[in-house]
Each structure stands twice: as structure tokens, then as C-alpha cells.
Structure 1
Amino acid sequence: MSDSSSRVPKQQGPASLLPGGVPRSAEPRTFRAGFSRPKRWRARVLGSGEVAHHSASIVRLAHEEQARQAGKLLRDIDIDAYLDKLLAKADLAVLEVDHRCCGFCAFYTYLPDLGTAFITLFLVAPDVRRNGMARDMLEVVAASAAQRGFHSLTLRVRDDNAPAIRFYLAQGFKVLGRHDGDLEMRLEMTAFGTG
């Protein structure tokens, strides 16, 4: 892929949808991990024709995280059946680092009457965490949901997953309640340009 084809057109600042967001372009960004060369990344929502290209990476990332969390990422369900459903029915945002899928967010926007898009799985590979990439992926999810008329994002997170809870709270999510060992959290999005 040439450098020009990896560039994403500038957008009207989806960061303004998240509290405290600093508007920035959607062009690929860079970071330096340790002594390695700088890495380029971008977060974007996949078109329906792109899901098949990313499906193996999404399945691999989910299985790796399920193993890291000793089976607690997705509890009491068949992970492969669940991933098949996500790949077939969910909207998907991906995090690409040096043209490699290193994270994804599966979210549902097919019930507009609810007014909230539901994030069902949000995952970033450990080797690229804590570099602002997860926030970028959340911003493209928020922008996509807002363009479809949704005013909030809702998710559930295991109540013992402290790093994820800290991340969501830092992004502006509020705890709505507890359900079967999970916290239900919601992010009320602001309109474009009102950051």
C-alpha cells in the first residue's frame, strides 16, 4: 500500500464527540515504542466489503485476549459462535498499526429508537496499549454512531477489569449500574464542533 493510499481524508473532528477531546485529523499518526522505529496507525470503521479481509485478525485478537484473561473476556458463551455473529451483524472499527490489525471495536447501531449504540466488544492488543490509539478508535465509533443519529454509547465491562474501567471513565463514560458481575456504562456524546 502506498503512502498516499493509507491516508484518510480529514474529518470534522470526531474527537469533539468525546468530553475533553482535542480535534485532530483522521490521518495516520505515529508513536515510538521503546527503541523501535516509529509506528503509524489509524482507526476506522470498516465497510461491509472489508470485514472478510479483517476477520482472521479479529478472531485471533479475541482468542489471544480470552487466553490472557483466563477465559474471563467472554464468559459462559461459545467464543467462535459469538465472533461469527459479530462478524456477520455488528459494525466494526479497527485499529491498524503499520498496516496490521491490532485492535477492534464491535458495536451495534441497528436499534435507532434506543438512541444509544451498544459496544459489545472493545479490544486493543497489549503491545500497542497506552498510546492514545484506543481513544482514537472510540472516537471513530462515536462519530459513526452520531452520523446515524445516536446520542450515546453504552457498554458493559467486567466489574473486576480495573484497567478497562479506568479507560472508559477517563473517556467520559458514567456508570449506570451493575448486572451479573458487569458494570453498565454510558457515554453521552456532544454534537460535532461543540467539544
Structure 2
Amino acid sequence: MRDDLRELIRREGHRTGEELIQGVSMDAYLDKVLSLGEALVYLQGDRLGGALLGYCNAPDSGLAYVSLLIVAEDTRGQGIGGTLLEAFIWRSVYRGFSRVQLEVQASNHTAVSLYNKHGFFRIGENESRVLMQRNLPGRHLRS
């Protein structure tokens, strides 16, 4: 899976002309998120159609964080991004988190629209990035 994730991230970065993993090598990023975080993947046959990488492992903080949501170019428009996002949100609810945050490129209007559709709202921004949050239902769902 690691090689498939690396290739999906590389292809999307090449397509958009953006460095999707910033400030650290891709191997260091994948080491961290795969050992400390969550990797939700969408497979189409034996091919990776999309992935969500994030953290919902410190419930005392109340904050879960989506680090990267990526969908293969040829599988876009099929609801994969929304499916992965909702799976992560409900995993976070089950684990007792009160909110999920993420950052997105301000120019990525498709992603901002997806996050708005799934209940996220802007809580901060600068010239290039938007910080968004979704508040989660109470901790009553956690046993």
C-alpha cells in the first residue's frame, strides 16, 4: 500500500504542479502517518482509487485532523472523496472527538466545495490556504 500511496501522491502533485507534502520528505511523511495516524483507502480492484490520511488518535485533545485527501484523477466524480471523508468523520465520532480540522489550498475550489458539502466551515485563512473545521456530535456514541 505504501508504494501505491507514494505513486498516487506523486501523480497528483505532478498533475497540479503543487508539492502536496511540504516541509518533510514523502517517506518521512508516510512513515509518520502510517505508524501514528490513519490511512483509509478506496480500492478499485487491485488499484488505489483514493486515500485519506489523517490523525484521530489523541481523543483528549478533542481534535482529529485530515492531513491529505486524494482521489485518482480517473476516479473523480464518483463520490470517493466524500465516502473517505465520511468514514474518517464517523471513526472520529466513535473515538470521542469533538471536531475535525483540515487545511486546503484556497485555489482548490472543488475541494473547498466538497468540504462545505460535508459540514466543514472556514475558521481561518491566508493568501494560499484555508483552515476548515467540522464540529462532531457529542461523545455519547462512544462506549
Q: Same fold (TM over 0.5)?
A: yes
- How many residues are aligned here? 140
The Cα of 1:172 is off from its aligned counterpart by: 1.3
Instruction: Calculate percent identity across the aligned residue pairs.
Output: 28
Partners of 2:24 and 2:3 lie apart in 1 by 20
User: Which of residues 57, 63, 71 in structure 2 aligns to 1:110?
Assistant: 57
Shift >6 Å, 4+ stretches: none
Structure 2 residue aligned with 1:150: 97
User: Which of residues 115, 122, 137 in structure 2 aligns to 1:190?
Assistant: 137
Contact 2:104 2:130 in 1 (8 A): yes
Secondary structure, aligned partner of 1:82 = helix
TM-score, normalisation: structure 2: 0.86
Structure 2 residue aligned with 1:126: 73
- Specify every segment of 5 or more residues in structure 2 that has no aligned partner in the other structure, as ranges: none
The Cα of 1:120 is off from its aligned counterpart by: 0.5
Structure 2 residue aligned with 1:31: none
The Cα of 1:179 is off from its aligned counterpart by: 4.5
Secondary structure, aligned partner of 1:131 = coil
Structure number with greater CO (CA < 8 Å, separation at least 6) is: 1
User: Which of residues 84, 94, 111 in structure 2 aligns to 1:164?
Assistant: 111
Matches within 5 A, 1:1-195: 54-179=1-126, 181-190=128-137
The RMSD of aligned alpha carbons is 2.1
Partners of 1:73 and 1:163 lie apart in 2 by 16
Larger Rg computed on CA atoms: 1
Partners of 1:70 and 1:128 lie apart in 2 by 19
- Offset from partner CA, 1:113-166 (integer Å, 9 cap, x none): 221210011111111111122111111111111111012211011111111111
TM-score, normalisation: structure 1: 0.65
Partners of 1:142 and 1:64 lie apart in 2 by 26
- Offset from partner CA, 1:54-88 (integer Å, 9 cap, x none): 21111111111111121332344423322232222
Instruction: Point out the more displaced range, 145-154 or 71-80.
Output: 71-80
Partners of 1:69 and 1:155 lie apart in 2 by 19
- Specify every segment of 5 or more residues in structure 1 that has no aligned partner in the other structure, as ranges: 1-53
